[in-house]
Amino acid sequence: MRGFKKRRVLPLLAVLLLQACGGGGGGGGAIQIDPSAVATTQPPPSPPSAGTACAALRGTKVDGTVIGLPTKGATVTEAALVPGSGQTSEHCMLKGRIASVSEGAQDIMFALVLPTNWNGNAMHFGGGGFDGVVPDLVTTPLTSGASPLQRGYAIFADDSGHQAPPTDPFYTAFASNSEMLRNYAGDALKKTRDVAMKLIGLRYGKAPARTYFMGGSKGGHEGMQVMQKWPADYDGVVTYFPAYAYMPQMMTIQVGTRALWGNGGVGFLGPKKLQTLRTAELAACDALDGAVDGIVGNVAACTFKPQSLRCKGGADTGDDCLSDAQIRTVDTLQSRTAFSYAFKNGATSNPGFLPSTDYASVLGATVTFPVPPNPLVLGSLGALPDAFIRNAVLMDPLGLSIGLDGASPGSYLPRIQELSGVMDATSTNIEPFVARGGKWLLVHGTSDPLIPFQGSVDYYNALLLKLGRPQVDAFLRFYQVPGYGHGTGHFNATGGVPVLDALEAWVERGKAPGELMATDANPATAGRTRPLCIYPSWPKYNGSGDLNAASSYRCATS
């Protein structure tokens, strides 16, 4: 305010002095003031209301030249102000489409939430499964505490460049189109991010100070893609159980599928057999962490072998034992798959699942592999490879996927390796992301039945080998959650891990996270807590205290 008065007063004083001295013509007499010499100010225009600013974005075009990968530009098709309600803050919801380039390729559908009270940052959400839908931007199950919207983030996501029918969660017909496949593999992320940055700038008059990414499963794969491919675009990333080794994992599950449903399904394990297996695993390994609580905390020490459950004579004689064929299935699921060929970046094997894996949550009850294809009866463990192999590998929607040997695929090897080159996020060349100060939180449950926990261990160890522990510790925290499955599990940490609090503190205030606390979301044990330990440590019971309280445990390595 003092500076403002000075600018107003000094020109006026100069005029008065000039007039008093007779300068400027006109001789003596009364002082004459030229009105044009006096600075005038107009009050600044009032900023538009949130509703007006939101509505003004409807129909906005984003030129393809500002998008880092080829498109025909983007258009905002919907813009609506959503009032705050309960835990939801007032925001402008934008929806739009990014036009494809090639013939037959569907557009990328995207959404962007612009909060009225913006915190200056942006959050990119990943998808899941085969995508095909835009994720919910208002709530997220991947962090505890206030949601990104409640925190004031501008939030955006896309459907990865294809639209799945509501009745087909395993829709993969897009895989036959090269542009749509590449969008699904990760290109849609870059295209959507660049469009979102343009629209955020139009709404707020500036770019976000920081941009984060958060995703699980396929969204975790996407988080690793953005670190590897577009490191300058993101300041921090959260990935849950990332499907980063996409094709090795798909082929590994396919090997397990053949063990389950091949030969007429003699190796299939129904719900009662799976319960027999789980009971035996717990009897052998539950107490290794010091607490008998239905969770195998010290999985590294668990040496359970399914052969201990062999039915007399090896034939299937009931639900309280496993036949030889069923034992081979469990061995297959829990063993590392060796391939007769190499995937992108040289991978020739992929890990299996750990004892105490929650197979019951991802297996259907059908013993017979469905012909014609019907992935809905297989459960996720069978449906994911079936759908993808038929459409992406065999290029035949009605093909018999179980006929393909994932370990030795014969004439389909060139196509599998081509897909690996497009899909896999297995590169350890993430130094550019690290060099600009990027931070990464990796969370994985040891009971995951779709993406083996050991896969994250493999990638972590590869980073240690390449970069050394001091540099890895400077940008990565790898948290293991015993008992946690794939968004489910006997300890369900979904929505119970403070990853966003930890990431914000690390990126914005330089406070590196240590051990955190995970909260169980299962209704029967809701509120149960455990330490969230940094790998390779795990929660070890102290020997006394409440079994359901994190304070009764410490993170240990032996």
38 close to 11: Cβ distance less than 8 angstroms: yes
Active-site residue flag, 405: no
> Residue 547 and residue 529: Cα distance in Å, rounded?
9
The bridge status of strand 516-519 relative to strand 349-350 is unpaired
131 close to 162: Cβ distance less than 8 angstroms: yes
Q: Which 8-state DSSP code applies to residue 185?
A: I
> Residue 109 and residue 106: Cα distance in Å, rounded?
9
**Marked catalytic residue, from 217, 323, 356, 456:** 217
**Marked catalytic residue, from 194, 448, 458, 520:** 448
The bridge status of strand 154-158 relative to strand 121-125 is parallel
> Residue 69 and residue 193: Cα distance in Å, rounded?
11
Residue 517, C-beta contacts closer than 8 angstroms, at least 6 positions apart: 498, 529, 530, 531, 532, 550
**Marked catalytic residue, from 144, 486, 520, 552:** 486
Please state the three-class secondary structure of 129-156 as a single string: CCCCCCCCCCCCCCCCCCCHHHHCCEEE
Amino acid at 15: V
> Residue 382 and residue 376: Cα distance in Å, rounded?
9
Residue 295, C-beta contacts closer than 8 angstroms, at least 6 positions apart: 286, 289, 356, 482, 483, 490, 491, 530
Active-site residue flag, 217: yes
Q: At what angle do helices 188-204 and 218-229 cross, to 10 degrees?
A: 80
256 close to 460: Cβ distance less than 8 angstroms: no
Active-site residue flag, 544: no
Number of Cβ atoms within 10 Å of the Cβ of 179: 20
Residue 533, C-beta contacts closer than 8 angstroms, at least 6 positions apart: 479, 480, 515, 539, 555
User: Annotated active-site positions, please?
Assistant: 217, 448, 486
